[in-house]
């Protein structure tokens, strides 16, 4: 009796037998090293969503007639401000946002220098035992990341081979320091382009090339596009602290009883607390200060800095060996 022949070709090739092959899942290794992971993408998307939510809240709830917004001072009049957080003199703006890089630095180094205690579910090493701080190579890479982030902060808000990037973009877009409110000894108005000598010791009017110098001279910085420095600092600082905390949070989860997992340390709690307050102040900034475009450009500059710091080095081995991201 002849044996029944099986069609091995059709079995090995389902498509030839009228059946579609099962879909194949993309290989995670095929993801570009220059792009964030799914978790990192969720973290990053939180910041534009916060800005959008705050901006919509401001548009929908604030009456321009009852609480007019001054585009020159970029704030509501304190006497008619719709909220305590809409005043530039609120304590969180003065002592947290204005010195934001100090708080970012504090959270960053608290995270890396304050040791963590072992979780109670881990091996018993005594009630007072703690883990050692991070080994020197990791601390050196953390120092490199902090230094690069600090460089971005300096170039954007303090100094960029002269005026900072924010001030340069303002003047390049047509902004000037308006000194028309000042007056000369003979009580004649001081015109910005009519005097060879600037006020209060400035040798000439061209020396007023930053918002801080203009304010110190008694003038008003107006006419150009102002990248939101608050949005830049809050997004960069908050996301940076969260990214730095991710490895600590992963190690604290552990894989079961007795695996030696670490409890969330005090340094991690400090960093995440600062990041959370930065997120809240980002929401308040979006609701009460700056135009949509000013907030958008501040966000773009912050995202560019974050990509350069945390994602670009992953595809450049030499840079990653220094930064360790």
| Structure confidence at residue 48 (pLDDT) | 98
Least confident of 102-116, 125-139, 151-165, 208-222: 125-139
Backbone angles phi, psi at 307, to 5 degrees: -65, -40
Task: Answer with the residue of higher pLDDT: 193 or 242.
Answer: 242
Q: What is the pLDDT of residue 167?
A: 86
Half-sphere exposure of 72 (CA within 13 A, CB side): 11
Compute the distance between CA of residue 324 and CA of residue 246 in angstroms, rounded to an integer: 14
* pLDDT of 325 higher than 70: yes
Catalytic annotation on 19? no
pLDDT for 209? 65
How many Å from the N-terminal Cα to the C-terminal Cα in the chain? Answer: 69
Which pLDDT band, with edges at 50, 70 and 90, does 207 fall under? low
How confident is residue 255, by pLDDT bands cut at 50, 70 and 90? very low
CB hemisphere CA count around 311 (13 angstroms): 16
Alpha helices by DSSP H, listed for 208-228, are 211-216
The band of 125, judged by pLDDT with boundaries at 50, 70 and 90, is: very low
Taking a C-beta distance cutoff of 8 angstroms, is the pair 93, 226 a contact?
A: no
| Beta pairing partners, 189 | 183
- Tell which residue, 182, 154, 169, has the closest CA to residue 211: 169
pLDDT at 168: 87
pLDDT for position 257? 41
Compute the CA torsion angle 279, 284, 290, 296 (nearest 10 deg). Answer: 30
Q: Are 34 and 312 in contact (CB under 8 A)?
A: yes
No. of helices (H) and no. of strands (E), the chain:
11, 4
Beta carbons within 10 angstroms of residue 303's beta carbon: 17
HEC profile for 265-288?
Answer: CHHHHHHHHHHHHHHHHHHHHHHH
Which is more confident, 278 or 127?
278
- In this prediction, residue 253 has a pLDDT band, given cuts at 50, 70 and 90, of low
Catalytic residue among 76, 112, 225, 290: 290
Q: How would residue 183 be classed by pLDDT, with cut points 50, 70 and 90?
A: low
More confident site: 20 or 292? 292
Confidence (pLDDT) at 23: 53
The answer to whether the CB of 303 falls within 8 A of the CB of 236 is no
pTM of the model: 0.77
Catalytic residue at 230?
yes
Mean pLDDT of 93-99: 94
> Would you state the pLDDT for residue 131?
53
Vertex 98: Cα angle to 92 and 100 (nearest 5): 90
Identified catalytic residue from 13, 19, 76, 230: 230
Provide the greatest CA pair distance for the chain: 124
Structure tokens given for 209: 């090339």
At 177, the pLDDT band (50, 70, 90 cuts) reads confident
> Which pLDDT band holds residue 197 (cuts at 50, 70, 90)?
very low
Mean pLDDT score of the chain? 79
225: confidence class by pLDDT, cuts 50, 70, 90: confident
Domain ranges of the chain: 38-64+84-118+133-173+228-325, 176-222
Residue 219 pLDDT class (50, 70, 90 cuts): confident
Using a CB cutoff of 8 Å and minimum separation of 24, what contacts does 88-96 make? 92/277, 92/281, 92/284, 93/281, 96/277, 96/281
Q: Where are the alpha helices (DSSP H) in the chain?
A: 8-12, 38-61, 91-92, 100-113, 136-153, 165-172, 211-216, 229-253, 266-288, 292-306, 317-323
Mean pLDDT of 239-265: 73
Identify the weakest region by mean pLDDT among 13-17, 32-36, 45-49, 163-167. 13-17
> What's the confidence (pLDDT) of residue 270?
96
Give the tokens for residue 236: 């960069």
């Amino acid at each position: 009796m002849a044996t029944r022949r099986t069609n091995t070709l059709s079995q090995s090739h389902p498509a030839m037998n009228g059946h579609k092959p099962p879909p194949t899942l993309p290989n995670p290794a095929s993801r570009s090293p220059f792009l964030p992971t799914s978790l990192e993408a969720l973290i990053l998307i939180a910041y534009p969503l916060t800005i959008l939510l705050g901006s919509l809240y401001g548009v929908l709830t604030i009456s321009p007639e009852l609480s007019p917004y001054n585009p020159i001072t970029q704030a509501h009049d304190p006497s008619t401000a719709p909220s305590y957080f809409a005043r530039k003199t609120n304590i969180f703006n003065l002592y947290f946002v204005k010195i934001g890089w100090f708080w970012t630095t504090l959270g960053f180094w608290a995270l890396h220098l304050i040791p963590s205690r072992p979780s109670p579910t881990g091996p018993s090493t005594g009630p007072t035992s703690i883990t050692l701080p991070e080994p020197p190579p990791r601390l050196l890479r953390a120092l490199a990341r902090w230094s690069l982030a600090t460089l971005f902060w300096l170039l954007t808000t303090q100094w960029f081979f002269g005026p900072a990037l924010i001030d340069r973009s303002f003047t390049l877009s047509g902004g000037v320091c308006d000194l028309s409110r000042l007056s000369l000894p003979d009580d004649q108005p001081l015109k910005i382009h009519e005097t060879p000598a600037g006020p209060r010791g400035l040798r000439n009017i061209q020396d007023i090339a930053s918002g801080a110098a203009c304010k110190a001279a008694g003038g008003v910085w107006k006419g150009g596009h102002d990248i939101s420095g608050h949005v830049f600092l809050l997004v960069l600082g908050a996301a940076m602290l969260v990214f730095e905390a991710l490895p600590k949070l992963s190690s604290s989860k552990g894989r079961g009883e007795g695996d030696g997992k670490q409890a969330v340390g005090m340094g991690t709690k400090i960093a995440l607390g600062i990041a959370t307050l930065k997120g809240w102040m980002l929401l308040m900034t979006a609701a009460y200060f700056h135009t949509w475009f000013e907030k958008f450009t501040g966000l773009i500059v912050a995202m560019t800095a974050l990509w350069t710091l945390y994602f670009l080095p992953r595809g450049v081995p030499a840079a990653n060996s220094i930064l360790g991201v």
